[in-house]
A and B are shown apart, each in its own frame.
Chain A
Amino acid sequence: MPREEMEVAPPLEYLSILDEEGDLDQELEPDLDEEELVQMYRTMLRARRFDKLLLEWQRGGRIGTFAPVSGQEASQIGAMSAARDEDWFVPSFREIAAFLWRGGDPVDMTLYNAGWNEGVAIPEDARDFPISIPVASQLPLATGLAYAIRLRGEDDVAMTFFGDGATSEGDFHEALNFAGTFQLPVVFVCQNNQWAISVPRERQTASETLAQKGLAYGIPGIQVDGNDILAVRVAADEAVKRARAGDGPTLVECVTYRLKVHTTADDPSRYRDEEEVERWKERDPIPRFRRYLEKKGILDEGEADEMTDSVEEELGGVWEEAEERIETLGGPDVMFQHVYADLPPHLERQRKWFGTDEEENDNG
């Protein structure tokens, strides 16, 4: 009758390629196209800049609340860039950087944040899901997508994003269990940004890493330095490759940090000290990647600065453009659309009533 250790799961790996100085482990360095590297860097800059603008607009009362992405650009772009356009993007509510990488239009996102449903209309050919507010609710959807992909005999992949806090929801566990049991082509990208509003990562779960949660479901897990875009990319490339080959899902835990507020309704100074934020600022993914690009001779200092300016310029016009679009929208009719595939008679009646009442109802 033995009592002995069992080997139940592969050991967990931690991956980091590029350190804070922009120095790297050459053996681990991925072989990426220069143009793509530049594109990744530019998208990080756009995300950071857009975040800043959104925050200003929110403070100025122009848009509603939103969840800033600053600090998590490498996790999102590193992962998303491993997927191709035909793969599916299933976000939570903080994926501004991944959205931009997918070719999302900042004007659309601005419209949406300003409260216009039209802004969330996803282009016909884009395989992007809308954001989801209930934490972790998007994960079973990604599993369902992957199931459909398999049923259709396609080789696409579903990539879904969520936070450390989301791993406490049943939806997370059930989605992973399904994906593992059916060996579905899903990549689960957990952005462990250390906080779920005011609750620190340690009080979310007693497990040492989040990546290891995959192991219980028979899913390989890997923990990566989420502020190192190369490490995230390498882990995501492997995960996407595995999924595409029919070898099942992967859980990638990106260790990163939310540099700003949880949402605009939050005041982080109540629960975390400035020192911690400062420490993480030193590990900011953007300057780190810039140093790498400079050391590799892909961008020189002048080009990098120019890029920052051109991004500022590009995004400088977003608000005006959004305002122009808003001018063309409006009318209460839109709120009755899309409740059902076809407008049912009772909504037709309500629509008419609201329509005739438009003026009176102070539609402004």
Chain B
Amino acid sequence: MPQITYREALNQALAEEMERDETVFLMGEEVAEYDGAYKVSKGLLERFGSDRVVDSPISELGFAGLGVGAAMTGLRPVIEFMTFNFSILALDQVINSAAKLHYMSAGQFSVPMVFRGPTGAALQLSAQHSQACETWYVHSPGIKLVTPGTPADAKGLLKAAIRDDDPVAVMEGELLYNVKGEVPDPEEGDFIIPLGVADVKREGDHVSIITHGKMVHVALQAAGQLAKEGVDAEVVDLRSLRPLDVEAILRSVHKTNRAVYLEEGWPYVGIGAQIVALIQEEAFDYLDAPVLRVTQADIPMPYAKNLEKLAKPDAKRVVAACKRVLYQD
């Protein structure tokens, strides 16, 4: 299988879907002339023209709402946020329009659109530009959310998101765009990953590290370190936070009887809180230890390099949490 970057995988997904379906268009800040702030839309302007690859004024609320309106007529807009951090000011259109109008029209209107862009921290982008935004989106019924951690997942999930009839947020990672991985050759047919299907990124029997998004790589790193100490960790990548693959979570917990949730965002009402609630409701009798969470410190992201590093979750803390649930510390 060819090795391509996460960025190229997203680009392939966009190009293939725009080629296949002319109702798909891409709008956002800097997406056309500049190829996107992270170069995800490279070459798309030349290929599909300025009606379908559109540079917008700096108006997140405006173009999010424009996307909803266009989607309600049956188009399939892909709205790029330079980062989901700046989508916070567009949340009215995401939560009150995109996520509600199918319901509020008793099914008469669908909102088949995608919101995409990076979520979370990169390096020294400071408090207002370093937030993991998953909870804000996933909290509301009516919208779906996927968080690809690898190039293959990025391609397969973005394609599925574009074809989905509900609004789907695709949260990428700034630090993932250069990551390489195997992605099936486009010649071999459409590569789609259905929404709502988790993926076991590493099999193991002793403890489940459940995670999503770019933290998959931190989880794998931690699992590697644990392996050296004789601990066999399983890494479950949820990939989709709504719909959630409940079965995959329970399967892993039934096997290992111990779990740690790892996420980039804050602990308070984070994704981990939801997963822990689910596990204790559905698999209480299987547990040999409380389920722990590894998250960002409960503070706005510091700007200083050393403090940022400290505030973010890392493999060392994951290892420590795993040892705790194994009663090895």
Contacts and interface: CB of A to CB of B under 8 A. Distances in A.
Interface of A: 64-65, 112, 115-117, 132-137, 165-166, 168-171, 196-199, 203-205, 270-271, 330, 332, 334-336, 339, 346-347, 350, 354, 361-364
Nearest to A163: B58
A115 B33 CA distance: 32
Contact of B128 (A117, A133, A171, A334): A133
Contacts of B308: 115
Interface residue tally on B, bucketed by range: 35 or more
B89 A347 contact: no
Interface string B15-26: 000000000000
Nearest to B123: A64
Contacts of B55: 198-199, 203
A137 B127 CA distance: 14
19 contacts: A64-B303, A65-B125, A117-B302, A137-B89, A166-B58, A168-B57, A169-B89, A170-B62, A197-B29, A197-B34, A198-B30, A271-B33, A335-B304, A335-B310, A336-B297, A336-B299, A362-B309, A363-B306, A363-B310
A64 B304 CA distance: 9
B96 to A, nearest CB: 14
B57 A335 contact: no
B305 A115 contact: yes
B303 A115 contact: yes
B61 A339 contact: no
Contacts of A334: 302, 307
Closest 4 CB pairs of A and B: A168-B57, A115-B304, A198-B34, A64-B124
Interface string B82-122: 00011011000000000000000000000000000000000
B126 interface: yes
B89 A198 contact: no
A117 B57 contact: no
A112 B302 CA distance: 11
Nearest to A333: B307
Contact of B89 (A64, A170, A354): A170
Contacts of B61: 169-170
Nearest to B306: A363
A171 B30 CA distance: 20
Given A115-B124, A271-B33, A361-B310, A346 B298 contact: yes
Nearest to A199: B55
Interface string B271-295: 0000000000000000000000000
B40 to A, nearest CB: 15
